[in-house]
Amino acid sequence: HAHPDYLGMLGMHGTRAANMAIQECDLLVVVGARFDDRATGKLSEFAPFARVIHLDADAYEISKLRTADIAVPGDV
């Protein structure tokens, strides 16, 4: 956590900086996350301006809660 660009965890237990960055981002690259309400809060207000690239090993999870602009089913 020593990198100067590290903002910390987002969501209800996250940092203000991380949550503000998400709200202002225009591209959100999601790798293996499920858009849980503890991370997103009110989903309709989460990263409202962002296009979403969603990569997940479980193809069912992609666009399940937040529509992905680019879906990438697969494993890293």
Which tens digit of pLDDT belongs to each residue from 39-71?
A: 898 998 999 999 999 999 999 999 999 999 999
How far apart are alpha carbons 41 and 45 in whole angstroms?
8
pLDDT at 47: 95
Q: Which two tokens stand for residue 41?
A: 């809060």
Strands 70-73 and 27-31: unpaired
pLDDT at 19: 95
Report yes or no: 64 and 40 within 8 Å, Cβ to Cβ: no
How far apart are alpha carbons 56 and 43 in whole angstroms?
19
Which tens digit of pLDDT belongs to each residue from 14-48?
A: 999 999 999 999 999 999 998 989 889 899 899 99
